[in-house]
Structure 1
Amino acid sequence: MASDREQDAEIALAMATSTNKFARLVRMMMLIKRWTTGQIQQETEERLDDRNMLMFKFFETIAGTKNLSIIGNHQEESMSWFKWTTGQNQQETEERLDDRNMLMFKFFETVAGTKNLSIIGNHQEESMSWFNKIWHLSINETNNFYYRWSAIVMLSCIYNLVLIPVMIFAEFRQSYYKPWLVANAITDVVNLFDILIQSKREFMEDGVCITEPKAMLVKYFKSRDFILDLLSVTPSDLVMLIFPNLAFVRLNRLLKIHRIFDFMERTEIRTNFPHLFRLLRLIVVCFVIFHWNACVYFLLSILYGYQDSEMEDWVFSYEKILDPLLPKCNNRLYAGTCLFDEDGLDAHERHTYVDELLDFWEPKKYVREFSNLTKKYSLSFYWSSLTLVNLGEQPSPTQLSQMLFEIVDTLLGLVIFAIIVGDIGNMVTSMNLARSTFEEKKDGCKRYMRFRKVNQVLERKVVEWFEYTWTRGQAKVDESKIVEYLPSRLHGQMSVQIHMDTIRKVRLFQDCEAGLLYELVLRLHLQIFSPGDYICRKGDVGKDCEAGLLYELVLRLHLQIFSPGDYICRKGDVGKEMYIIKRGCLEVVSPDGLKVFATLNEGAVFGELSILNIPGNKNGNRRTASIRAVGYSDLYVLTKDDLWDAIREFPDAKKSLIDKGKEILRKDNLLKESDDEAELSDMEIEGIPIEERLSKIRKNLYKLEETINKYASSFHGGNAEMKRRITQLEQRYKTRKHSIQGLYSNMNIDF
């Protein structure tokens, strides 16, 4: 009886426990539903509103008036406005939400007895964020990541290209079958990831880079590469579950070979040694062709049986590649024990004592044994190389299939040989093209000097100049041709990168507009001065150029190279260029060249005042000193025409440059303060471009026409007044004619 009660109690306890668990589960599900639909927050806000309303009613009842509620409302409004303006309202809301979420998570953990729910929530959020990142990911095919990934894919393709035919050798299958399967899996994973990478590759459409995920996917899926990539990852390896030795089922992996060519094109663009890269590419291509041909040759040897083949057979034979015999001793060190004594014997009759020779060398040699795999592959590769280069020297084929294979190899070898010779010839020609062109110019110059009977000193100086330009690299790169190839914007950016810092060193251009500096940089050209060349004197510069003007000036710089002893300019010459020393050393010397006043080094600037044509300059835009090159000197030159062409669009900068130049001349007491207007007019006519000259001439013609019209009007007015007065005089004469005649007759004057 007691046992029955105990059983009933246990059953009741179990039912109560299960009921409690079920009730807790139901409450948890209801809370989850209310929490996810926002009902908890809404109910919480409603309870807060009810509590506030009860509190206000309680205070109104005690105070007997609604002033307290009004005050409370005003206080609540002011506090809410204060919290809203200071950001506390949002912060408190976020804190309440965080507290609510924390309580909910703790509740779920308490009810469920685990933290799996929070972990699942975090994992879902992380997975969604990662999915969004991957979905919106775009890869620029010109960046380093894509290039390195292409290198990995290329190595994967080369692996399949080399290892698939090698499986024809039984020794390789027996020794490396499992590592081969692992490597196959790795390359397949690389190919799968490459499909993802290719689907995220940006592309250009109407000059715009497209990074929209759907557009990139559609572009890739419609391309031929997607079909090849998809076929290359087809799991054809499953056939090897039935036929383990059938490695050629992986031939579909070779459809990925187009990625090798893509990587080669990118590498040829990036590398600084394109000729060396082309040579390596040619070697790799030849190796792959020889490798496949060798494997096919050994496959035919297997089909025709090579185990019992002999030296004269066409197929592979172990007799064709024996293990080498190497001596154990060195006769240079052990001549007594490592050299057979043939004194008294005829070396031409060695066959008579060959047994003695064998007995002597038997203990003094050893066999260097190679594995069968090494013998098979090396002999097959040797046969393939000899056949493809048409050297022959192999046993003749005895079967039709062998003969057909030989014919195909011969034709293929002719094509390969022609490609190799042509490709190497093109590489040699392109490598020596710059040198050949330079040598032609130098030889032509030497012939011209001999024809004109130039003295040997000057001829030697010219030859040294050619050698200098080649060794320094100027002869290998033509800046003018590079400018022709590049778009104007890229040329401008490159010129600014090279010359802008140099232009900003000129005090006259330090605060110029960017547009003017840009135009000036475009007009810079290089000049190389020889040691002893005279250039011009160093002058001060100003500071008030705009950044745009400096940008224009930098684009107009061009390079000139001067030889040692060349004069860049002489005292008294009319200055038409400004010079910036890029490399080399110059000397400021006396007119006779005997006395050195100063030395100009890299970065120095001179001649900038002479290209401004400043009115009132006492030097008259002429050089005040002679400048000579000490050694080979590279100078960037800015001509007067380029300067005025650049500042044409910057009238304020032009006025600022002239004013700053006047200040510099005034500081050196070289400015004549009179006749500014007349000299300014002459300067503008000489210095500014033809369009602006015509514009100024047109304005002067308008002014002259106005002056002529003014004088003509004055002339016509005076002429009319004179006619009127003459008419009045004639009328008076007619009315007084008789009295006038009588007056003159009394004076004995005939009128």
Structure 2
Amino acid sequence: MALKERKHIPQGRLAPLRKHSKALEEENIQKGQEVSNQADQIITEAAILEPDKSTNQTYVRPKFKTIAKGLSLMSRVRVADAAINREQQAFFSKYGISTTSCGGDAQNQVEEKQNNNNANNNRGFLCLKNVNLNGVSIWEYIRHQLIFDPFANYYYNWLGIVTLAYVYNLMLIVYRSVFIDSQVVGYFWIGIFIFLDIVTDIIYLLDCFVRSRTGYLDQGILVRDVQKVFKRYKKNRIEMWIDLIACLPFDYLFELGLQTTNPCLRFNRLIRLQRVFKFTNTTEMCVSKPNLYRIFCVCLYILILIHWNACFYYFISGVLGIDSNRWVYGKANLQALPEGIEDSLSRRYLYSYYWSTLMLSNVCEVPWPIRSSEFIIVCVDLMFGVLIFATIVGNVGSMIASSEAARRDFQSRIDNVKRFLRQRNVNKNLIQRINNWFDYIWQQNKQAILDGQDDLVLSVLPTKLQAEIAMHVHFETLRKVRLFQDCEAGLLGELVLKLKLQVFSPGDFVCRKGDVGREMYIVKKGRLQVVSDDGMKIFHTLLEGAVFGELSLLNIPGSKHGNRRSASIRSVGYTDLFVLKKADLWEALREYPEAKRMLVHKGREILLKDGLLNEDAPLEEKSPEQWNQELREQIDRLLDK
């Protein structure tokens, strides 16, 4: 909007006015840029050293003091910008120049640069507002729709990150609170401590948001309504207050007030233990070797307990007086240090850790206490160590016992079989074959064979999940059978549940020529040979994936071999076979009559192709019920006559 009309100003006077306006603009930009750079430099400083005259040591200036100074300088930038803008507006008003005319170019350039700077500073926020996700901006999605699935992998990974942050606080807060020298800036790790403190605090704050947006199951359905989820989170007041208290910045407030740091004020970060338990319990359910994971957790607990007890010992030594007697920490209970080596921070911590290890393990090869308070501390520490290690040893023992339970049960079965063989005076050759078979079963982890196949292991699962597991394991194997290649998936799903695993030893006959066929076999692993009756001549070798005996399951009328085996089959080595019994097949076919007719028709085609079918035979063999029905009809006709 123009302040005054410019028609009364001669055209020749506009050039110097524009030049002066441009000079004001450049001065404005230059001053603002200088002060902004100075503020950014102060904010981004990693640490500022300040000498302490009382101790002649150098400490880190509290980080909030630096940030406050930077913010103050940034406010000065805004004040300077406003003052120069007012001066420029007054200049234009004095000479009656429109800000959109003679000074319009300069003003537009200033506004354009300011807009570009604001755009760069707020780029992340603008991206959240402008980018769409299913028709909704990401910012609106986060505010009103974002819900976390507690069963998703990303949620489990987030729990792992929170657990790492908690372990950092658990180990470092007590260490930095007790060993004061760790706060000296000359100590190498102080910069890393400050950085990790900020990172873990950010993780805690983000976890509060994650917990308030974590869905829950209602009647088996994941609730994704933001209001319901947050309302449920507020109802659980204990967890909500734990989250809030754990995020209270007592240490930062202390730094602002007293201009110094105190790690003791970070102990409130340790109350979020339930998130760690949730992560460890979930991990125990997911890992393939839970016993090994439990042993790892127990070892980690031992190290943490020894660490805390070491810090407690050094703290008590400081309270009672360093180097006041042999029991507390001091030169008296240290071994003679080589010349030139000082009593460093690492040595003080390692000695405290060594003392803690001896006390909690009840070795007690430490200096005897002298004061009454020292005796009390030692007694409490010893009792605490006894309870801890009794619990640990008990847990480790139960883990080892559970891991060896399968082995003990297996060995008990072997002992029972051996006892039976001795009582029946079985020859040594057969006993050796049985022992070899047991050894192969154990080495190949086929314990389920002795437990009534896999049914006992999977019996706790619902039938639908059992079928899916069986389909995943056996479906492709069953598809290889030419008799079942065109069967519908429902029938195959029934049949895969019927497959059983059997293991044959070297030299065992799976079947002999002339035996009644009641099973179909699929070679999973190993090698079989089709041999003559005496076993001397080898006709054919069956490898992995081969199928035999399937036609004997169908009772096809006109088969020249009937239900008898047409050849003898012998195992070359240890062979794993999937077995489908005839009774199981016919039980499944009761619900699939069309599939039954299709299988019989396909079986007849296979026999006809191989020249093993009598074509004059009926297409379908009559069942006993059909024979009884025809017999009754004939009797009724005779009686009527």
Same fold judged by TM-score > 0.5? yes
Alignment of 1:307-386 (within 5 A): 307=323, 309-311=324-326, 314-325=327-338, 367=339, 369=341, 371-386=343-358
Partner of 2:484: 509
Q: Which residue of structure 1 aligns with residue 224 of structure 2?
A: 211
Size of the aligned set, in residue pairs, is 533
Q: Corresponding residue for 1:233?
A: 247
Deviation at 1:257, TM superposition (A): 1.9
Letter in 2 for 1:508: L
| Deviation readout 1:219-249 (Å, 9 max, x if unpaired) | 3333343332221111111353146353221
* Counterpart contact for 2:251–2:261, Cα < 8 Å: no
Gaps of 5+ in 1: 25-108, 326-366, 526-558, 686-692, 716-751
User: Which residue in the other structure is 1:587 paired with?
Assistant: 529
Q: How large is the Cα RMSD of the aligned pairs?
A: 3.1
Contact 2:251–2:262 at 8 Å: present in 1 too?
no
Query: 1-side partners of 2:596 and 2:161: how far apart?
Result: 58
Q: Quick one: distance in 2 between partners of 1:6 and 1:659? A: 110
Q: What does residue 414 of structure 2 align with? A: 442
Equivalent-residue separation in structure 1 for 2:456 and 2:345 (angstroms):
56
1:522 equivalenced with 2:484 (yes/no): no
Q: What's the counterpart of residue 98 of structure 2?
A: 17
Shift of 1:16: 6.6
Which range moves more in the overlay, 655-664 or 227-236? 227-236
In the alignment, the residues of structure 2 paired with residue 133 and residue 162 of structure 1 have an alpha-carbon distance, to the nearest angstrom, of 38
653, 668, 674: which one aligns with 2:616: 674
Equivalent residue for 1:172, pick from 175, 182, 201: 182
Deviation at 1:318, TM superposition (A): 1.6
CA contact (8 A) 2:527 2:573 kept: yes
Aligned partner of 1:246 in structure 2 is 262
User: Match of 2:131?
Assistant: 126
Q: Secondary structure at the match of 1:485?
A: coil
Aligned with 1:581: secondary structure?
strand
* Greater Cα offset, 562-571 or 386-395: 386-395
Give the Cα separation in 2 of the matches to 1:560 and 1:476: 11
* Local SS of the residue matching 2:364: coil
Q: Distance in 2 between matches of 1:633 and 1:370?
A: 70
Alpha-carbon distance change, 574 to 706 in structure 1, aligned in 2, over 3 angstroms: closer
Q: 1:403 to 1:615 in 2, by over 3 A?
A: same
What CA distance in whole angstroms lies between the structure 1 residues aligned with 2:357 and 2:636?
98
Measure the CA separation in 2 of the matches of 1:21 and 1:704: 120
Paired residue secondary structure (1:575): coil
Counterpart residue identity of residue 238, structure 1: Y
The verdict on how the C-alpha distance between 1:173 and 1:612 changes in structure 2, with shifts beyond 3 A counting, is same
Deviation of the 1:14 alpha carbon? 5.3
CA distance in 2, matches of 1:113, 1:406: 73
**C-alpha distance 445-711 of structure 1, shift in aligned 2 (>3 A):** closer
3-state DSSP class of the match of 1:453?
coil
Report how far residue 669 of structure 1 moved: 2.3
CA contact (8 A) 2:530 2:568 kept: yes
Say which SS state the counterpart of residue 659 (structure 1) adopts.
helix
Structure 1 distance, partners of 2:496, 2:351, is: 65
TM-aligned CA deviation for residue 502 of structure 1: 0.8
Shift of 1:152: 1.5
Residues 1:264 and 2:280 are matched in the alignment: yes
- Name the CA shift for 1:662/1:6 in 2 (closer, same or farther; >3 Å): closer
Cα contact 2:333–2:367 (8 A) shared by 1: no
Match for residue 36 of structure 2?
none
Deviation per CA, 1:405-433: give whole Å up to 9, x if none: 22321221121121121011112212221
Which residue of the partner structure matches residue 160 of structure 1?
A: 169
Task: Give the superposition deviation at 1:598.
Answer: 0.2
Which of the numbers 432, 436, 444 marks the counterpart of 1:464? 436
Residues 113, 295 of structure 1: CA spacing in aligned structure 2 closer, same or farther, 3 A cutoff? Answer: closer
Match of 1:574 in 2: 516
| Amino acid across the alignment from 2:283 | T
Distance 1:178 1:380 in 2: 24
In structure 2, C-alpha distance between the alignment counterparts of 1:488 and 1:319, rounded to whole Å: 71
CA distance 1:710–1:214, change in 2 (3 Å):
farther
Change (3 A) 1:310 1:411: closer
Secondary structure of the equivalent of 2:536? coil
For the pair 1:279 / 2:220, whether they are aligned, the reply is no
TM-score by length of 1: 0.66
Following the alignment from structure 1 to structure 2, what is the Cα–Cα distance between the partners of residues 656 and 476?
Answer: 35
- Asked if 1:628 corresponds to 2:628, the answer is no
Superposed, which structure 2 residues align to 1:526-675 within 5 Å?
Answer: 559-675=501-617
- Residues 1:114 and 1:579: Cα distance change in structure 2 (over 3 Å): same
| Structure 2 portions without partners, runs of 5+ | 1-7, 15-91
TM-score of the pair, normalised by structure 2:
0.76
Classify 1:570/1:400 alpha carbon distance in 2 versus 1 (closer, same or farther; 3 Å): same
CA distance in 1, matches of 2:403, 2:483: 44
Work out the CA distance in 2 between the residues paired with 1:304 and 1:476.
63
Q: Partners in 1 of 2:225 and 2:289 — Cα distance? A: 36
Shift of 1:161: 0.5
More helix by share: 1
The letter for the 2-side match of 1:226 is M
**Larger RCO: 1 or 2 (CA < 8 Å, sep 6+):** 2
Within a 5 Å distance, the mapping from 1:387-466 to structure 2 comes to 387-466=359-438
Matched-pair contact (CA < 8 Å) for 1:321–1:375:
no
SS of 1:482's equivalent in the other structure is: helix
- 1:434 aligned partner, one-letter code: A
- Cα deviation, residue 122, structure 1: 6.4
Check conservation: 2:448, 2:457, Cα contact below 8 A. Answer: no
Contact kept, 8 Å, 1:562 with 1:633, in 2: the verdict is yes
Percent of aligned pairs with the same amino acid: 38
Quick one: which amino acid aligns to residue 680 of structure 1? E
TM-fit CA distance, 1:680: 0.8
**How big is the shift at 1:508?**
0.9
Map 1:78-93; keep pairs closer than 5 Å: none
SS of the counterpart of 1:523? coil
Shift in alpha-carbon separation, 1:482–1:202, aligned structure 2, 3 A: farther
Q: Which residue of 175, 196, 202 corresponds with 1:183?
A: 196
